[in-house]
Amino acid sequence: MAWRQPPENTVRALVEGITRFDGVEFDLRLSADGELVLHHDHHLSIDTDELIGKERFIEQLQSDEIKLNGFDDFTSLMENKDFTGQLIDQSKVAFIEIKPPHRSIQPRGENTAHLAKILEKVAELLKNHDIPRHNAVVYSFHSAMASVAKKASYKGNWSELRPVVPPVFGAFNQRMRTLPGYITNSFASLLKNHQRNGSVMMPCAKEYLIGWTRHLPLGRSVGLSGRGLKRLRSITNGYPVHVWPCIAAEERPLLNAGLSVITDDAHPEQPISGAARWMRPASLPLTLKQWQGLAQRKIPTDVNPWCELNDSEKQSQVETWRKQYQWQRGADEILADSNGELPWEAVRVIGHRGCGKVARPVM
């Protein structure tokens, strides 16, 4: 039976995505009655007879109304043991993007308080379901995430999506408003900002690394080969960078460069750049020889998951990654910082919105 992509940001997509990949990324919004719902767009991304002529912004709708139209809530996801079990036991990760409302319904100055309210609810659910701190990161397109975390008294991992895409309608409008921030912030400056904030990873738009757009930001550009790759590795020095949103053809060059991938392609039979695809390079790690063998479509069968490795085997695997990606820090230091858990330096493949972006049918 042919694989059918599940709708994005649903419990089904996120369970399948976290099973297939090293982790998943998903979006949360706050409904009018204060519930967290899995939803990316500003407005309810479906048209029904009941909603014609009504305001459809998620923040103005009741959670029951949202769920009746086929969308799931965060509580349902956290109550799904097939999802949380992989975060707890299998070294998988969750990237949680919290979304501010559209500017037409909330002034920009109120976004920090709104996002802090979301973050408090996220933190409570993560704690109630025993999700390890190490295995979840919360971020947002918001320039004051430090203030959000402080206001929410949040002690978990957080990061920022930069340059900030304003909460307005239209992809073209968003790009034009984001362009100045993109041009004035180089890859190196973004990375330094995340390091100063103490973030365990840096989300990075693929335009910084692929195609002619990588030459637009001020300063020296980075890339995936030649001098650009050498400069990239010198800047990152093993610091975790997760690149979004990617397609299968872009996956292997990014992984070879030591960058993690947030992918929109979860098709189980999709090859990448002519090679066999390995969807769990971190939680189901390969030796260097096995990784190189994927280029000849040699798919290894004797691979043990990270969570089952003993201390010596973990040490050996980190040494393999150090040589493969030219990290400068020693394996002992990396493992000490991660307390024996899968290090954030590990190169991952993450399912974007679960199993990738996909349009929903009109009901």
Q: What is the pLDDT of residue 53?
A: 47
Domains of the chain: 11-285 (3.20.20.190)
- DSSP code at position 169: S
pLDDT along the chain (363 residues), means of 10: 89 97 98 96 68 71 92 97 97 97 83 97 98 97 94 97 66 63 90 95 95 92 96 95 93 96 90 87 96 92 95 96 93 93 97 83 37
pLDDT given for residue 355 in this prediction:
96
Q: What DSSP string runs through 114-141?
A: HHHHHHHHHHHHHHHTT--GGGEEEEES
Residues whose CB falls within 8 Å of the CB of residue 93, separated by 6 or more in sequence, listed in order: 22, 23, 87, 135, 136, 137, 348, 350
With tokens 């493969």, the residue in question is 324
Q: At 260, is the secondary structure helix, strand, or coil?
A: strand
pTM recorded for the entire structure:
0.93
pLDDT of residue 54: 54
Asked if 245 contacts 264 with a C-beta cutoff of 8 angstroms, the reply is yes
